[in-house]
Amino acid sequence: MARRQGYDGVVVTAPVSVPYERYSIETAHWWIARALRASLQAAGLKPLEIDGFTVSSFTLSPDTAVGLTQHLGLCPRWLDHIPMGGASGVVALRRAARAVQAGDADIVACVAGDTNHIDSFRTLLSGFSRFASDASYPYGFGGPNVNFALLTDRYMQEFNATREDFGRICVAQRDNALRYPNAMMKKPLTLEDYLNARAIADPIALFDCVMPCAGSEAFLVMREDEAIKRDLPFARIKGTIERHNAHASDPIQLRGGWTLDVDDLYDMAGCAPTDMDLVQTYDDYPVISMMQIEDLGFCEKGGAPEFLRSRDMTVTGDFPHNTNGGQLSAGQAGAAGGFIGLVEAIRQVTGTAAGTQVKDARRALVSGFGMINYDRGVCSSAAILEGTA
Amino acid sequence: MSDPLQPPLKKNPQKRTVSPTRPPEGRSRAALGLTAAAAEGRFALQCCAECGAVQYPPRDACSTCLSTELPWRDVSPKGTLIADTFIRATTSLYFRDRLPWRTGTVQLDLGPSVICHVHGDCEKGARVVLLNRLDRAGQGVLIATPEKRTPNMQDDPQLRAMSSDPNYRRVLITDARTPNAPALAKALRTAGAAHVFVGEGETWRPYPERAALESLGVEFLPLDVTDTSSVNRMAAEYGSKVDILINNARFLRPGGVLARGDTGFARDEIEVNYLGLMRLAQAFGPAMCARTGDGVNSAVAWVNILAATSLSNSPEMGCFSASQSAARALSQSLRGEFRSAGLRVMNTYVGPTEDDWHQPLPPPKVTANALARDVIKGLTDGLEDVYCGDVAKDMADKYRRDPKVLERELTMGGEA
Ligand SMILES: [Zn+2]
């Protein structure tokens, strides 16, 4: 008997990305409503016809998923609020899938969205976590840039990675973003631009950082027969994993929780890293993408710089990666940053990705990473999706 | 080595004074344990009372065994700098005025990794010693320093920002007639103070310390802390030139309540020791608070010299100590009032001193030189509470352990 039960008969569909804006005077509620509405419209559903709802957002305060049911006129029998930042998308997917599988809900809408007011990045930063207020913000108040500068510095010392190695990821993603109309970044990026960019926190420079913006993303989870009845293109969920606070005694983060669960992931899915047609990593900084590529088995620990040097990460390349530009080029819309890769992967394996479509894409690996509670990302997650073509 | 500090340029009146800003102040209650240790210059972390695991960041429960008994203990501050960065962009106004700011990750020999400030002389991968210092928000922060002292180490801008170093600063000692005034002035000179002002009341009346002070090249200012207009006049003229104020003004007579027949001396004690402090704070406080961001010779510290018996009283000096307790309570209010500007209030608690009024008390007693040395060290280390002399240290330990037990010990009276 397999260690974990599969997700047979449960599918994911109706992917929606509401175009991001750099700054917005609207609220998180507004952005979440837009994504939910578009996803329901795609499936021909009315708000009261869904019976499961999960939301992820940083700027919804003082409301939670509870407040949203009344605000948006929903009446779910299954409700969840997932505060896991970059890991939220996959976590929402796997919880919703189990709910549908068990009959606790028939149709679950999974939504993430955040607004970005002129000063909201700063205020968000100041109230992020207790450990951050106590033990990281007083040390220069550089936010996540500082944490990732330190991780990147350590990674470079440990594995002889160079700025060029990180730059190659950013350049390829910008190339992909130029095919994605919703991307915030519209201009090409060269390796030279990357290397000459303004330093933010050495060795992190401008193009290693995401641009905070407002936006929202959504998808629906339902039974396969429901999707067929509604004539919706859908993807099957072949395997998922989730882990928190792994390797707590590592002095600095060079690996994430994926290492503990990656064998389960591929066992469940019955496939291997080489079977993936595209990979969507959580990319708030390129070093984290490298960490995921290693921990999810594409190469050994520390081998990502070498592995990527001989690969083409663009939509038309031999290792399509973050095909809509990822957060680095499409923008980081708060908690929606934990959904962007998953929503794009659903489009990819259902053949609906339009300009960013990877040819014959059938299998996608999506990885999530979230929440720098103090000095490292605490949450990790991953999922393998498969199209029906 | 650090670049030696350069004397401040003459102030350009056209240029705006850098506004007082401060680093992030918010902390959990547990994290204030670090601040409490930093106030006394100790490096302490929470250690689980049950399994011994050292915790960082501060917690409410042990991350190894879930025990909620997590006392703070002095532990080894040694570790290795495993990563570092220079922050060049921040949304904090305080750090923005001081970029680039060096921050790093230190793996402590005891286990935990800490994100900390990094002294400019630390090399990546090198052994370091963490100091626990109060930052300009008055909160305890950790800074990695080289394992061995380096030339001009104290002049590193990040370390200096966490100290109240008298080097290149102008200091006002409020009372020339207190016997410790010459020792304080001399120690400040040695520590590099750019200028020492000394307040002098009743200028017509001679006193023994005058000659010693003259030989130290101090500047005498007519100042009587019991006279509001005198204090205000001096503050109006010199308030913007005082970077460190040391209030050593003191009126002292021995005796408890019943030993005195009236409230006469008590009024004098309150006038000088309590209301004097209040007058000084009202007159000099605002000008000093406005200049806490003002470069090399920014205003940094307000020093009160208090009797250790201000912590817990006894009849030998009962009425005097009550005025000292009042001053101590006032200093706590001042800490709150000066905090938003980043001006530090350093209380120096002194045991019995070598002077006429303490003659009946047994040794050990604090000499003026020892007091001056501890004040300078406290300023250099940016402390908030300094216990000077064995009696004061002993009393502080007992006060921390159990204030009621200390009170009873101090009020036992003689043999019946
Ligand atoms: Zn324990």
ipTM of the complex: 0.93
Domain end call among A229, A261, A277: A229
Q: What percent of chain B has pLDDT over 70?
A: 98
Beta bridge partners of A54: A80, A110
What is the pLDDT at residue B415? Answer: 57
- Tell me, yes or no, whether A101 and A223 share the same domain: yes
- Which residues is B36 bridged to in the sheet? none
> Could you give the CA distance from residue A336 to residue B9 in angstroms, rounded to a whole number?
51
Asked which of A174, A196, A229 is the last residue of a domain, the reply is A229
Question: For chain B, what is the largest distance between any 2 Cα atoms, rounded to a whole number of angstroms?
Answer: 72
**Out of B24, B30, B113, closest to residue A138 by CB:** B24
Is A58's pLDDT higher than 90? yes
What is the average per-residue pLDDT within A244-254?
97
- C-alpha span between A88 and A90 (Å, rounded): 6
Determine the pLDDT at residue B7. 79
Q: What is the CA radius of gyration of chain B?
A: 22
A-chain CB neighbours of B157 within 8 Å are none
Q: Is the pLDDT of residue A126 over 70?
A: no
As a whole number of angstroms, the distance between CA A177 and CA A166 comes to 17
Contact between chains at B89 and A134 (C-beta distance less than 8 A)? no
Do A160 and A32 sit in the same domain of this protein? no
Query: What is the rounded distance in angstroms from the CA atom of residue A182 to the CA atom of residue A330?
Result: 7
Are residues A82 and A202 part of one domain?
no
Chain A residues with beta carbon closer than 8 angstroms to that of B63: 248
CA distance B342 to A323: 49
Answer whether B87 sits within 8 Å of A145, measured CB to CB: yes
A333 domain residue, yes or no = yes
Residues A246, A224 share a domain:
no
Q: How far apart are CA B157 and CA B168, in angstroms?
A: 14
pLDDT at position A275: 98
Determine the pLDDT at residue A37. 98
Point out the residues of chain B with pLDDT beneath 70: 11, 13, 16, 356, 413-416
| Eight-class DSSP state of A212 | B
d(CA B378, CA B40): 9
**pLDDT tens-place string over residues B261-275:** 899 999 999 999 999
Per-residue confidence (pLDDT) for residue A1, from 0 to 100: 46
Q: Same domain for A294 and A342?
A: yes
Q: Which of B248, B268, B286, B194 is nearest to B5 (CA)?
A: B194
Question: Quick one: A193 and A266 in the same domain?
Answer: yes
In chain A, whose CA is at the least distance from the CA of B113?
A251
A322 Rama sector, left if φ>0, alpha if ψ -120 to 50, beta otherwise = left
Task: Determine the Cα–Cα distance for residues A47 and A51; give it in Å rounded to an integer.
Answer: 9
CB A331 within 8 A of CB A183: yes
Residue A97 lies in a domain: yes
Chain B residues with beta carbon closer than 8 angstroms to that of A139: 103, 115-117, 141
Look up residue B196 and give its two tokens. 């020492």
Check whether residue A33 and residue A77 sit in a common domain.
yes
Nearest-CA distance from A240 to chain B in Å?
28
Measured in Å, residue B39 CA sits from the centre of ligand 1 at 27
Q: Can you give the pLDDT at residue A121?
A: 64
Whether residue A273 sits in one domain with residue A161? yes
Separation CA B235–CA A282 (nearest Å): 59
Number of structural domains found in chain A: 2
Q: Which pLDDT score, from 0 to 100, does residue B413 have?
A: 67
Which among B213, B123, B105, B118 is positioned nearest to B156, based on CA atoms?
A: B118
Q: Does a structural domain hold residue A3?
A: no
Does residue A135 lie in a domain region?
A: no
Q: How many CB atoms lie within 10 A of CB B155?
A: 19
Nearest residue to B360 (alpha-carbon basis) of B252, B225, B246: B252
Of B26, B57, B101, the CB nearest to A374: B57
- How many other β-carbons are positioned within 10 Å of the β-carbon of residue A64? 14
Distance from CA of B292 to the nearest CA of A (A): 18
Residue B108 with chain A: CB contacts under 8 Å = none
Q: Would A4 be classed as within a structural domain?
A: no
Distance from CA of B142 to the nearest CA of A (A): 9
CB A112 within 8 A of CB A339: yes
Give the SS3 label for residue B214: helix
User: What CATH number matches the domain at B170-411, 3.10.20.30, 3.40.50.970, 3.40.50.720, 3.40.50.2300?
Assistant: 3.40.50.720
Q: Do B107 and A133 touch (CB under 8 A)?
A: no
| pLDDT tens-digit readout, B148-163 | 999 999 999 999 999 9
A126 in a structural domain:
no
Question: Which residues of B fall within a CB distance of 8 Å from A202?
Answer: 85-86, 88
The answer to whether residues A40 and A174 belong to one domain is no
| CA-based end-to-end distance of chain A | 28
A133 touches B at CB < 8 Å: yes
- CATH number of the domain residue A178 falls in: 3.40.47.10
Report yes or no: A126 at the B interface, CB cutoff 8 Å.
yes
| Domain range list for chain B | 29-161, 170-411
**A335/A361 same-domain check:** yes
Q: What is the DSSP string of B126-180?
A: -EEEEEEEE-TTS-EEEEEEESS--TTGGG-HHHHTTS---TT-EEEES-TTSTT
- pLDDT above 50: residue A333: yes
- What's the CA gap between B115 and B106, in Å, rounded? 6
- Those residues with Cβ within 8 angstroms of residue A158's Cβ, 6 or more apart along the chain or in another chain: A254, A302
* B→A interface, C-beta within 8 Å: 23-24, 26-28, 30-31, 56-58, 63, 82-92, 94-95, 101, 103-105, 107, 111, 113-117, 124-125, 135, 137, 139, 141
The one-letter amino acid code at A274 reads T
pLDDT of residue B3: 85
Residue numbers of the domain that contains A296: 142-207+236-386
Single-letter amino acid, residue A46: K
**Domain shared by A254 and A295, yes or no:** yes
Residue of A nearest to B93 (CA): A141
Q: At what angle do helices A340-349 and A88-102 cross, to 10 degrees?
A: 60
Residues 6+ apart with CB under 8 A from B280: B174, B225, B231, B245, B247
Task: Name the residue among A76, A98, A79 with its Cα closest to residue A10.
Answer: A98
From the list B357, B369, B376, B242, the residue with the least C-alpha distance to B307 is B357
**Residue A291 counted as domain residue:** yes
Contact residues on chain B for A198, CB-CB shorter than 8 A: 88
- In-domain check, residue A136: no
CA angle centred on B179, ends B176 and B180, rounded to 5°: 85
Q: Do A153 and B83 touch (CB under 8 A)?
A: yes
Q: Could B87 and A142 be called an inter-chain contact, meaning their C-beta atoms sit closer than 8 Å? A: yes
